[in-house]
Each structure stands twice: as structure tokens, then as C-alpha cells.
Amino acid sequence: MRTDVELNGKIFSFEVEPRTTLADCLRYNAKLTGTHVSCAHGFCGACTVIVDGQPVRSCLMLAVQANQSSVLTIEGISNDDDLTPLQKSFRKCHAVQCGFCSPGILMSAHALLTSEPDADEDRVREVVSGHLCRCTGYIPIVQAILEARPAYKKQRSELP
């Protein structure tokens, strides 16, 4: 079944079985393996991507349900060879250890700070609670997201 998706700003057309999850479509059809799959039933949050501006579990969405949608993955928020302010903040705060959960958390954080650049710690914790990380203990992750806020505020103020 044909599925047309605007993926990281480019139009793609995928031929998938209806049972293909969006996560598998991204990894196997688009070859974008930055989206990680861990539990594959919505529990862990590792596969989180942004669909039409909202963070979603890509294992809990069929690829065909994303037809005509805009999808943003971790590959789409990076600046070629440079890290984004959010990623730099994760490095600075040591918010990444094994890295398996990081792409999903970065996507949730990116969606959050894009729409709510003033998010307070409670709000950040609430959003991060949708992700499992078995390394960091979450504190550096929360810190990294909070420290990335000025960059998103600046970005927003520069919008036309």
C-alpha cells in the first residue's frame, strides 16, 4: 500500500504492508535507523518521533496512518555535521549514556520546547515520564532540556 510522507522536509513515497508500523517503515524503508525500537508496544518511548508537530510513539502508529503527514525524526533535527543546541545541551549535561533512549527523548524534548519554550521543570518531568532510560537516572536529562530553553526562546523570537 502506497504511503506518501513528508519526512524530514522531503517527500517520500513508501510501499508498505498495512501492518508495517511507522517505526519499521522509518528504519527499514527509509533506512533512518536513528529512531530506535525497544519494547514495540508503547511502553518505553524509545521510538518517539514527531508527526504533524506532535510527539508520538512510532511503534503505536501504522505507516499507512501517516499517509499525507509530516514526520520529523532525529535525523531531521540535526544540522548536518553540527549538533543542535538541544543535542549540545545533552552532551554538556552528560544526559546520554548508552544512547538507546536518547533519540526518542530528544524528539519529545524538541516538540515540547518548540511549542513551550518556557516549560518549567514539572512540565519537563511530566513529558520525560513518557520515556524509559535505564542509565542516567533522568536528572541530567531534565537538566539538559531545561538548559536548552534559551535556544528555543531565541529561535522563536527570530521567527517572522
Partner 1 sequence: MAGQSEGAKPMKLPKFDYACPATIEQAVALLAGADGTARPISGGQSLMPMLAFRLLQPSLLVDLRHVPGLATITINNDGVHLGAKVRWCDIETSAALKVAHPILTAAVRYIAHHQIRTRGTIGGSIAHADPAAEMPCVAVLCDAEIEIVGSAGKRKIPATSFFKGPLMTALQPDELITGIRFLAWPAGRRWAFEEFARRRGDFALAGIGVFFDVRDDKATNVHIAAFGVGDTPLRLANAEAALNNRPLTDAVIKGCCQAAREAVDPRDNTHGSSAYRRGLVDYLLGESLRRLTVNSSKACANAH
Are 141 and 101 within 8 A, CB to CB? Answer: no
User: Which of 95, 92, 106, 110 has the alpha carbon at shortest distance from 152?
Assistant: 110
Q: If binding is defined by CB under 8 A, does position 113 make contact with partner 1?
A: no
Q: For partner 1, which residue of 20, 35, 73, 143 counts as binding (CB under 8 A)?
A: 20
Among 29, 89, 102, 143, binds partner 1 (CB under 8 A): 29
Total binding residues toward partner 1, as defined by CB under 8 A: 39
**Closest C-alpha to 23, from 69, 70, 71:** 71
Tell me the three-class secondary structure of the chain, residue by residue: CEEEEEECCEEEEEECCCCCEHHHHHHHHCCCCCCCCCCCCCCCCCCEEEECCEEEEHHHCEHHHHCCEEEECHHHHCECCECCHHHHHHHHCCCCCCCCCHHHHHHHHHHHHHHCCCCCHHHHHHHHCCCCCCCCCCHHHHHHHHHCHHHHHHHHHCCC
Q: Which is nearer to partner 1, 19 or 92 (CB)?
A: 19
According to the binding rule CB under 8 A, does residue 101 interact with partner 1?
no
Least gap, CB of 146 to partner 1 (angstroms): 16
Instruction: Based on the shown chain and the rule CB under 8 A, indicate whether residue 54 belongs to the binding site for partner 1.
Output: yes
> 34, 55, 103, 140: which one contacts partner 1 (CB under 8 A)?
55
Closer by beta carbon to partner 1, 131 or else 149: 131
120-149 residues near partner 1, rule: CB under 8 A: 126-127, 129-131
- Among the residue ranges 12-20, 70-78, 94-102, 138-146, the one whose residues contact partner 1 (CB under 8 A): 12-20
Task: List contacts with partner 1 (CB under 8 A).
Answer: 1, 10, 12-21, 24-25, 28-30, 40-42, 45, 48, 54-57, 59-62, 64-65, 67, 108, 126-127, 129-131
